[in-house]
Structure 1
Amino acid sequence: MSDVLLVGVDGGGTACRVRVRRPDGAFIGEAEGGTANVFAGLDPALAMIVATTERALERSGLGTADLGRCFAGLGLAGANMPSVAEALHARRLPFAAFGLETDAVTACRGAFAGGEGGIAILGTGTAYCVRARGRLTLLGGWGMLVSDQGSGADLGRRALAAALLALDGAKPRTPFCDAVLARFDNSAEATVEFARTALPRDFGRLAPLVWDHAEAGDPAADRLIADSLLDIEPMLRRMIELGAPAIALLGGQAPRYRPRLPPDLAARLAEPAGDAMEGGIDLARSVWRAKGGAA
């Protein structure tokens, strides 16, 4: 089947990224779209995946008519929820076939090229995955309402809470708090109105304010980062207990957390061999093979 295309999808709360290759590894195209957050709406997320795949195909002069020869590996945040997986498999997608895993699993596939290791996704959300001792273990990744501690969304949400406490005079009003409140005209009502309808990616846009002020020495911002590390570090240690020989830090918050980790954890870190889209392509290849494709 020389006309087969393999599609790797990394669908997260901030963006949907798609890469397309031929089975021999030849690059076809890559594109990035908007959010593919299934918790914010399954159908819009799937529509974004299809649209972003079409744009990736267009890089090589292909398009909508070629979706039917694509085998897709979907790495989606939230796919570890049975209700989400069941609802997604009930939808009709234009691909020849697709496989579904949570984005943490496809990221781990890509980071260690199918070998053993662990990944910590520290992005808009957080999630952890360990492939070791013949087992696959997922930790966290349950969404910002009950999980995702230390994520960009969590930092943004807690930045609003800290700023409102400062506005009430209950905590010192530092430059960081002023910068957060300035986004909302120093209005508690406007802040709450934003939070009432904000998606994780919206909260996540406030995370750079936290980091920039923490690195400038603002005590309120630095406290938020320190509190986040108190949640992240135990997860990393649990991954080591589960047998991860090395850990790759992924996601937009990872480069800023990395220098703050204690030396023993820093010594366990490894650079990823590939990204989550390559992990999605690895999943797509396994789907293709299961359907009778070449080894």
Structure 2
Amino acid sequence: MTDYFIGIDGGGTSCRAAVAASDGRILGRGRSGASNILTDPDTALRHIEEAARLALVEAGLAPDLLSKSSALLGVAGNNVGDAVSYVSARLPFQQAQIVSDGLIALQGAVGDADGAIAIVGTGTIFIARHHGNLHYLGGWGFQVGDLGGGARLGHAALQESLLAHDGIRPKSALTASILDEFGHDPTRVVDFARAAHPGEYGRYAPRVVQFAADGDPTALRLMSEAAKHVDDALDAIVDLTGGDGRLCLLGGLAHVYPAYLADRHRNRLAEPLADALTGAVALAVQAFQREAAGP
């Protein structure tokens, strides 16, 4: 068994790494750039290695211990076989596992106990652990899923702006703000929407949140409709698990949704025990110590 374990939290914006001793105690951390294994696996590999080396350096350990360490990586796209195979074959560690970024977030938030998380960012996914079994709901992407996410919220705001322009829905400060951005020319909104990616829609979500906080009726309705999608998913989690354990909201909209959720869910919300990187380290220690112990 190796002496050191490395947890990796690989995201589309940055890659974070932490190195731990065999008792799970974190010794050092490192951060580097984007590590999306689907869109740019070679850049992801470079940043994974860089973050891990920086973690070793902060821990006062030699960077060449990378090749003698066991690593667990939580990344998006872990269910895409080609990407995982390509990255796995080129990782610099003695041994490694690739799991979902949602799994390390769940482990960080609830530890080894039963519980559930709702990740509400640009997209949405809901994950629960119940009697040792994992349940994943949502996470199907912007085109057919991600209900309640920031991209969907921004998309809805653009729709409402066009409806307001046409006199089908009442105008509001929110719709006026968006139409002002496009010069009150609906064809420019259409041109934007034809090529927009989820993240580009998502940049309108903070505007909806702010206008809702200011009492804008259109923004308030959009927030209520989005929260209903989150409530529905949390109801399904309760049906699966009986509502046991902690319930944590994570992601960029986590601080926003409590005000809009139904009481039955809002009253259950708890702060996460730790972050996803801590979860990755804990899973690395568990996985590789168990593997070394054998059957």
Question: Does TM, normalized by the shorter one, top 0.5?
Answer: yes
In structure 2, do the counterparts of structure 1 residues 31 and 161 end up closer, same or farther at CA, with 3 Å as the change threshold? farther
**Partner residue of 2:84?**
88
Which of residues 231, 234, 251 is equivalent to 1:233? 231
In structure 2, do the counterparts of structure 1 residues 197 and 268 end up closer, same or farther at CA, with 3 Å as the change threshold? same
CA distance in 2, matches of 1:204, 1:20: 33
- SS at the partner of 1:254? coil
Tell me which moved more, 163-172 or 228-237: 163-172
In structure 2, do the counterparts of structure 1 residues 47 and 187 end up closer, same or farther at CA, with 3 Å as the change threshold? farther
- SS at the partner of 1:19? strand
How far off is 1:40 after superposition? Answer: 3.8
In structure 2, do the counterparts of structure 1 residues 26 and 135 end up closer, same or farther at CA, with 3 Å as the change threshold? closer
CA distance in 2, matches of 1:62, 1:54: 9
In structure 2, do the counterparts of structure 1 residues 260 and 88 end up closer, same or farther at CA, with 3 Å as the change threshold? same
In structure 2, do the counterparts of structure 1 residues 218 and 54 end up closer, same or farther at CA, with 3 Å as the change threshold? farther
Tell me which moved more, 264-273 or 55-64: 55-64
Equivalent pairs, count: 290
CA distance in 2, matches of 1:32, 1:181: 39
CA distance in 2, matches of 1:57, 1:183: 47
- SS at the partner of 1:160? helix
CA distance in 2, matches of 1:24, 1:270: 27
Q: What one-letter code is carried by the residue in structure 1 that aligns with 2:227?
A: L
- SS at the partner of 1:255? coil
CA distance in 2, matches of 1:187, 1:16: 40
Ranges in structure 1 where 5+ consecutive residues have no aligned partner = none
Give runs of ≥4 in structure 1 deviating > 6 Å: none
Q: What one-letter code is carried by the residue in structure 2 that aligns with 1:125?
A: G
Name the Cα RMSD after superposition: 2.9
| 1:253-283 alpha-carbon deviations (Å, 9 max, x no partner) | 1111012222221222222211111111122
Contact 1:42 1:88 (C-alpha < 8 Å) held by counterparts: no
| 1:160-192 alpha-carbon deviations (Å, 9 max, x no partner) | 333344345543332212333445555555545
How far off is 1:43 after superposition? Answer: 4.1
Contact 1:38 1:77 (C-alpha < 8 Å) held by counterparts: yes
CA distance in 2, matches of 1:136, 1:254: 22
Map residues 210-221 of structure 1 onto 2, 5 A cutoff: 210-221=208-219
CA distance in 1, matches of 2:154, 2:34: 17
Matched, 1:289 2:255: no
Tell me which moved more, 66-75 or 94-103: 66-75
**Partner residue of 1:162?**
160
**Partner residue of 1:258?**
258
Identity %: 38
- SS at the partner of 1:173? coil
Matched, 1:7 2:3: no
Q: What one-letter code is carried by the residue in structure 2 that aligns with 1:52?
A: A
Ranges in structure 2 where 5+ consecutive residues have no aligned partner = none
Q: What one-letter code is carried by the residue in structure 1 that aligns with 2:147?
A: Q
Which of residues 98, 102, 117 is equivalent to 2:115? 117
Q: What one-letter code is carried by the residue in structure 2 that aligns with 1:72?
A: A
How far off is 1:50 after superposition? Answer: 3.3
Map residues 5-154 of structure 1 onto 2, 5 A cutoff: 5-60=4-59, 65-79=64-78, 81=79, 84-91=80-87, 92-154=90-152
Contact 2:223 2:260 (C-alpha < 8 Å) held by counterparts: no
Contact 1:10 1:103 (C-alpha < 8 Å) held by counterparts: yes
How far off is 1:30 after superposition? Answer: 3.0
Q: What one-letter code is carried by the residue in structure 2 that aligns with 1:6?
A: F
Q: What one-letter code is carried by the residue in structure 1 that aligns with 2:132?
A: G
How far off is 1:238 after superposition? Answer: 1.1
Q: What one-letter code is carried by the residue in structure 2 that aligns with 1:88?
A: V
How far off is 1:78 after superposition? Answer: 3.3
Q: What one-letter code is carried by the residue in structure 2 that aligns with 1:136?
A: L
How far off is 1:86 after superposition? Answer: 4.4
CA distance in 2, matches of 1:88, 1:94: 14
Q: What one-letter code is carried by the residue in structure 1 that aligns with 2:66?
A: L
In structure 2, do the counterparts of structure 1 residues 290 and 24 end up closer, same or farther at CA, with 3 Å as the change threshold? closer
CA distance in 1, matches of 2:63, 2:200: 31
Map residues 181-260 of structure 1 onto 2, 5 A cutoff: 181-184=179-182, 186=184, 188=186, 190-243=188-241, 244-246=243-245, 247-260=247-260
CA distance in 1, matches of 2:134, 2:251: 20
